[in-house]
Structure 1
Amino acid sequence: MRLRSLVSFAGVCAKLAAADRQVFAHYIVGLTSGQSRDEWQLDISQAKASGIDGFALNIGAQDNYNDAQLHLAYDVASSNGFSLFLSFDMQASQWSADEISSYINTYKGFSSQFRVNDLPVVSTFEGPSQADIWPGVRSATGGIFFIPDWASLGAPGVGNKLSLIDGAFNWGAWPERDQLTMSTGNDIAYKSVLQGKPYMMGVSPYFYTNLPDKNWYSSSDSLWFDRWKQVLDINPEYIEIITWNDYGESSYINAPISHQVVPGADIYVTGFDHTAFRFVLPYFISAYKAGNTGVTVPSEGAMAWYRTTPVIVCNDGGTVWGQGGGASAAGATKDVVSIIALTNTPTNINVKIGNGDNGQSVSATSTVGKASFYEVPINGRTGAVTITLNGKSTTGPEITNSCPSAGRVNFNAVSIQV
């Protein structure tokens, strides 16, 4: 029996090694009450145009509109050659094995259901305390390919549950508290403990939240570039971008939809478009899938992100540096304009802040393949930000020394594209 088990596992790994790498975006279904078919079509079309293969659909047990929205999502995705899989939020809600099995059985037959080894992929947000329900779910559904996020256990804890899982998703996609940049130590640990089972790597552009039960900023001045560079080093089997639409945590990569922004978050989300973060995705995703940074740049250009409120302007609103941190978030950012350019040959970028600024030509501080990163200190300047690359320019919202109406620094960023 032991020999048969090893042979079977080797066969699974061989199939996975031959499978295409896939990139998903974490999508909060809990924000979609009343969402129309056209709205699902827009999200899916935009994601697909960015090179994203599918959505991981985060669902909570308390939402009575799950069925209506999931049917729309799976149906629209099926018509667009887009993949979906269910991600049960077990941190914010209580799920029973029967409920989980029912959802899987309802949607596993759609052509848009993401499958590995002909089994529907299923994930979670947390839930390791209910780990023992999953063998029953496998039995009740005829089999699943289970890739949970049990990041609260840490990589060693996940490694202790290998018999229950088919792979693992690591939610850790931001620098630790009191750290300005992200390391790959946790990714490497996951790859090691999984012993060949697939690793789904979390990648995120940003993090800031200021809500009654959570208030922190994770250093994000260079995160979007750093993390994609790390993807090319780690070469995970799958990627999950965190997130498509979690406005309350400022990790979204689209334009905020006002009625989907949770109460309290509108103060730091309204007017803070993150669409430009998607500009670099077609290149980075192509490079990841090819295992080669020499892939074609779909379109030369650049995107930039920056905060419109320097940290010295007013108080930090009690925001701490990283989850579980104690230091002020004011130390977590350098007050800079951050830029990623995609060019076939290295080039300088001109950055202008305000009307009295003639602009400055800046060179890249880091490069991977055809993507280059630039960082320009604000140095007390105020006014609109203009980025110029190869004769093309774009101007974004003003940086101001006026304290926001909320009476605290807004640690969220705007994004622009040239």
Structure 2
Amino acid sequence: MIVFLTCVAVVLLTCRVQAASVFAHFMIINSANYTFEDWSNDMKLAQDAHIDAFALNMAYNDLTNMKALPVAFSAAESVGFKLFFSFDYSGNGNWPKSDLINLINHYSAHSSYFFYQGKAFVSTFEGSGRADDWPSIKSETGCFFIPSWSSIGAKPSVETGVVDGLFSWAGWPWGPQNMDTYTDASYLQYLAGMPYMMPVSPWFYTNLPGYKKNWMWRGDHLWHDRWQEVLFVQPEFVEIISWNDYGESHYIGPLHEKSMEAFEIGEAPFNYATDMPHDGWRLQLPFWIDMYKQGTANITEESIVSWYRLSPGAACGGGGTSGNTAQQLQIEFPPAELAQDRVFYSALLGSFSGVVVSIGGSAQNATWTVVPDDDIGVYHGSQAFDGRTGAVTVSLIRDNVTTTTIKGESISASCRHGVQNWNAWVGSATGDKVSVRPRFEISDQLCKNGTGAYNFAGLWIEAAQPYRSGQIPNCWRKSHLQWTLCLQLQSGLLSILNMRH
């Protein structure tokens, strides 16, 4: 084997296991019309999904901040939920240092503020140009600082000398590819043992000309694949992007019609979140999060989740949307080259089941591309539209009996607004009650005959209990909380990583 770049030794110390927490990125600007009950209900839904806290994204000088924060923290205390600040330096410019100190000191006194290692947890979206502010902010507040400075990358961020860890915003794949963990590996390498907050997101599509945003990144298998990668990477923290960013289509929280101002302010050609629920993406989160935190999880009820776009990519005009964006120095693609015309589905099962996808009354026996070890866990697959339109159903079949069915929105050969909506419709259904857990814990499940993304071959670790083919895209090994991640990069990958991130 030719080892390129380096063989990164990632030592998972006890503090990492204790730290394991999952957050959801929450846009404060979308809560301008929230009541106490709205906050409480969202927090209860997050708790049901085993999410630990909301990362409150706040732009400087947004009037919503001062209105929302007292209600949010009061609601969090009433339901036993946690919150922390994620200061947005991109929306309305840089935050003054004094404002940050005052906000952190005031709200970290609340019992609902999230602490790590006895310190108030604080993040950002961008703001690397004000890195020099943070030594004094940390001195005045005693906070634990884990920003997202993805625009400059992991190495320069660490070299500022002010971070206690890093959050990567690179939660979506590049071009017509599925997600990989190369960027995560670069963060782990340069953090050299400091905590890493890993991004997980199901989708990305935005068409807000008023914000100079009109692009999409491939979603497709992303929600399933990324949680598999979380189990592989085992970061200290996971942040889901997002709970309620409707304008970027990656929300997993409920739709609130009174929270859609972004479409008006951003001069969207239409509201592409209306009637496009994403709640189903939360259904299997307790399993994924428990697997991440505990190495195993109980399954008490089988379920299936399905998502797809409501029109084929060639059905109508693309709305000027690009696949990837030159704004981030990426090569752009026609969006239909990234978004596949397929129905995607994940099922949480206690034993093997068949799956049937019907579009417009034309039913086909579908297949699983991922089958969990010992047949217990999350199965995943997809089925092509194949030119079919009409009502969609996705059914689980066991012993010739249908155990549950999703009755989904219809796929149409036209577009509701005369322009393509690259957002996803998500549905779900529950099935049989069961009481099982995977036979092997994460520490026992290793990858075999694995290969890297982009045709980089050679990732190979023999495993006593291998995952089935295709389940985890890169290989890993864990023993007594010590992991070894050996990355094999062929010539040129380092330059690709530098170009992308």
Equivalent in the alignment of 1:9: none
Equivalent in the alignment of 1:235: 234
Cα distance in 2, alignment partners of residues 310 and 140 from structure 1? 54
Equivalent in the alignment of 1:10: none
Q: 2:164 aligns with which of 166, 170, 194?
A: 166
Q: 1:402 aligns with which of 402, 407, 414?
A: 414
Equivalent in the alignment of 2:34: 35
Cα distance in 1, alignment partners of residues 13 and 342 from structure 2? 46
For each residue in 1:69-89, what CA deviation from the matched residue of structure 2 results, as whole angstroms up to 9, or x when unmatched? 111111111222211110000
Letter in 2 for 1:173: G
Matches within 5 A, 1:12-411: 16-17=15-16, 19-93=18-92, 94-141=94-141, 143-161=142-160, 163-176=161-174, 178-212=175-209, 213-261=212-260, 262=262, 263=264, 264-265=267-268, 266-292=270-296, 295-324=297-326, 325-355=331-361, 357=362, 359-368=363-372, 370-390=377-397, 391-405=403-417, 407-411=418-422
Letter in 2 for 1:304: S
Q: 1:414 aligns with which of 408, 418, 425?
A: 425
In the superposition, the TM-score normalised over structure 1's length comes to 0.92
Cα distance in 2, alignment partners of residues 77 and 317 from structure 1? 40
Letter in 2 for 1:381: R
Cα distance in 1, alignment partners of residues 166 and 372 from structure 2? 27
For each residue in 1:319-339, what CA deviation from the matched residue of structure 2 results, as whole angstroms up to 9, or x when unmatched? 111233422101102200000
Cα distance in 2, alignment partners of residues 298 and 191 from structure 1? 35
Deviation at residue 108 of structure 1 after TM alignment? 0.4
Aligned length: 398
Change (3 A) 1:15 1:84: farther
Q: Which runs of 4+ in 1 moved over 3 A?
A: none
For each residue in 1:364-408, what CA deviation from the matched residue of structure 2 results, as whole angstroms up to 9, or x when unmatched? 102345111111000111111111124211211110011332x32
For each residue in 1:215-252, what CA deviation from the matched residue of structure 2 results, as whole angstroms up to 9, or x when unmatched? 11111110001100110110000000000000000000
* Kept after mapping to 2: 8 A contact 1:229/1:368: no
Instruction: Give 3-state SS (helix, strand or coil) of 1:398's partner.
Output: strand
Cα distance in 1, alignment partners of residues 206 and 411 from structure 2? 20
Equivalent in the alignment of 1:6: none
- Percent sequence identity is 38
In the superposition, the TM-score normalised over structure 2's length comes to 0.77
Of structures 1 and 2, the one with the larger relative CO (CA 8 A, separation 6+) is 2
- Gaps spanning 5+ residues in structure 1: where? 1-12
* Kept after mapping to 2: 8 A contact 1:201/1:240: yes
Cα distance in 1, alignment partners of residues 17 and 323 from structure 2? 41
Letter in 2 for 1:401: A
Cα distance in 2, alignment partners of residues 304 and 17 from structure 1? 33
Instruction: Give 3-state SS (helix, strand or coil) of 1:196's partner.
Output: coil
Cα distance in 2, alignment partners of residues 158 and 368 from structure 1? 37
Instruction: Give 3-state SS (helix, strand or coil) of 1:79's partner.
Output: helix
Cα distance in 2, alignment partners of residues 349 and 98 from structure 1? 57
Cα distance in 2, alignment partners of residues 23 and 78 from structure 1? 18
* Kept after mapping to 2: 8 A contact 1:155/1:186: no
Cα distance in 1, alignment partners of residues 259 and 214 from structure 2? 20
